[in-house]
Structure 1
Amino acid sequence: MRTAEQIFEFISKQKVAFIGSVDDDGFPNMKAMLMPRKIDGSCFYFSTNTSSMRIAQYRKNPKASVYFFNKGRFRYEGVMLTGTMEVLEDAQIKEEIWQTGDTMFYKKGVNDPDYCVLRFTASKGRHYCDLKTESFEL
């Protein structure tokens, strides 16, 4: 069994995350995202557009999942986390995770009304590696 530290170390090395939301009909929706801008314990912070479909879904139903994986030449490893997603629009967290290149997506800068932060709080997860799957609580 992997420790929480080993799982979070694995997560921190990945370049892409897949986030899951629930649509109005109760179906899961997945989207590839750049890695979280910040990881604080079991909270993961992503930047995104306020106007996106995902934001509306999370506001209606905060249930969410995030999946990280690495496909090596001979080994596949993946971690799925489940929990809740919050939409944050306060200036402090927006400034904290803002990066210089973000003006490419948010023309009005850190105060652009179409810029917001998603905070995913994981409560449990599943880890897969070497044909073994294990569940864990956070």
Structure 2
Amino acid sequence: MKDTEKTIGNLIDKQAVSFISSMDSAGFPNTKAMLPPRKREGIRVFYFTTNTSSMRVTQYRENPNACIYFCDKRFFRGVMLKGTMEVLEDSLTKEMIWRKSDTMYYPKGVADPDYCVLKFTANQGRYYSTFKSEDFNI
């Protein structure tokens, strides 16, 4: 890849679905489809919304190792990013990615105790395109 950040960033920005993975208490990966990240900083930091009461939040609190995946099914290419996931509940971060339509999921608004932010920080990646894979560091 000539420009890793640009290539990966463009792929990510065009996807309507993202996949996040956590580890359960028995050591098995658990993957879930999510809406795209609300915010990203390059291809290193990503912010997602979720319910504080979710199974995923419990798993990330016990083991922050995580990966996220984005797939462009039209051109059969994708990227896996490995790193760690933090569960953030501070008002500044919650307000940063809040949208008015979020009241559909969090009826008490941005201060809803069941609303939190998942912050993923990547350190490695693997990109697949045209029948080959390529590892890269972030």
What is the TM-score when the length of structure 1 is the normalising length?
A: 0.96
In structure 2, distance between residues paired with 1:10 and 1:17: 11
Residue of structure 2 in register with 1:10 after alignment: 11
In structure 1, distance between residues paired with 2:124 and 2:116: 25
Residue of structure 1 in register with 2:70 after alignment: 68
Residue of structure 2 in register with 1:103 after alignment: 103
Secondary structure in 1 matching 2:71: strand
Tell me the C-alpha RMSD between the 2 structures: 0.8
In structure 2, distance between residues paired with 1:57 and 1:34: 19
Residue of structure 2 in register with 1:54 after alignment: 56
Q: How far is 1:2 from its partner?
A: 4.5
Q: 1:36 is aligned with what amino acid?
A: P
Q: 2:63 is aligned with what amino acid?
A: N
Q: How far is 1:10 from its partner?
A: 1.2
Q: Does 1:131 align with 2:114?
A: no
Runs of 4+ in 1 over 4 A off after TM superposition: none
1:18-71 Cα deviation digits (max 9, x unpaired): 000000000000000000000013100000000000000000000000000011
Percent of aligned pairs with the same amino acid: 59
Q: 2:58 is aligned with what amino acid?
A: A
Equivalent pairs, count: 136
Structure 2 unaligned residues grouped into runs of 5+: none
1:56-112 Cα deviation digits (max 9, x unpaired): 00000000000000111xx30100000000000000010110011100000100000
